Structure 1
Amino acid sequence: MLTMGSIVLGVADVRRAVAFWTEALGYVPRDEIEDDWVVLVPAEGPGVQLALGLSESPVQEHPRVHIDLYATDAADQAAEIERLLALGAQSVDWDLYPEDPDFVVLADPDGNRFCVIDTAHG
């Protein structure tokens, strides 16, 4: 039986991505940070690893795979979005929102899309 090992994001600047994602998620590098690769793990307890690898591929406007980050309610979602924007995330002008979305699409400093979801939303 297979288990999930890591989610891997391609990034243009590994060290910049490490700075953003460690602060965003409370993760730490598992090993020494290389210029082309690093694996981040939760600072405390279990969780999915996030690997960041140097990539020259262009960012996808509508990626087929992305990360969902969960907030406990609308107030927590708003606070987390504000915090992530202060860390260097970017607002995304997302053209595929449904009528009453429970998520907000942001991009990390490398342009990788991710969602912040209000898990208490109707």
Structure 2
Amino acid sequence: MLTMGSVVMGAADVRRAAVFWMRALGYVPRDGDVEDGWTVLVPAEGPGTALSLGLSETPVQEHPRLHLDLYATDQAAEVERLVALGAERVDWDLYEDDSDFVVLADTEGNRFCVIDKT
């Protein structure tokens, strides 16, 4: 049997990425500290999917095959909060008129979506 252990993302600056995602998701370092080359973040409160950040110099994909979908009950407020934490809005060319998502990039350029859960 298999279970999902962690979602892994690359980062040129693992510490900077870790600070962003800890603030964004309320996660903490699994091993008590953030390492420069590799760190695993876990929910501070209870179970959930871990987020691992590994040192990478690979360029960010404009249309990544894999990304995070974050569900929000107040999408506009969450987008603004994430932008204040260092995320950037992405000029996404694949939006449809009735899209329920906003595409952002973290401090490392990794794309993720904030989905309107309402």
Normalising TM by the smaller chain, what interval?
Answer: over 0.9
Tell whether 2:15 aligns with 1:15: yes
How far off is 1:34 after superposition? 1.3
Alignment-derived partner of residue 63 in structure 1: 64
Consecutive unaligned residues in structure 2, runs of 5 or more? none
Q: Where do residues 1-122 of structure 1 align in structure 2 (5 Å cutoff)?
A: 1-31=1-31, 32-72=33-73, 76-120=74-118
Q: When the two structures are superposed, what TM-score results if normalisation uses the length of structure 2?
A: 0.97
How far off is 1:44 after superposition? 0.4
Q: When the two structures are superposed, what TM-score results if normalisation uses the length of structure 1?
A: 0.94
Consecutive unaligned residues in structure 1, runs of 5 or more? none
- What is the rounded CA distance, in whole Å, between the counterparts of 2:95 and 2:27 in structure 1? 29
User: What amino acid maps onto 1:69 in structure 2?
Assistant: L
How far off is 1:99 after superposition? 2.0
- What is the rounded CA distance, in whole Å, between the counterparts of 1:115 and 1:58 in structure 2? 19
RMSD over equivalenced CA pairs, Å = 0.6
CA deviation profile, 1:6-33 (whole Å, cap 9, x unmatched)? 0000000001001100000000000132
Report % sequence identity: 76
How far off is 1:82 after superposition? 0.3
User: What amino acid maps onto 2:35 in structure 1?
Assistant: E
- What is the rounded CA distance, in whole Å, between the counterparts of 2:82 and 2:13 in structure 1? 18
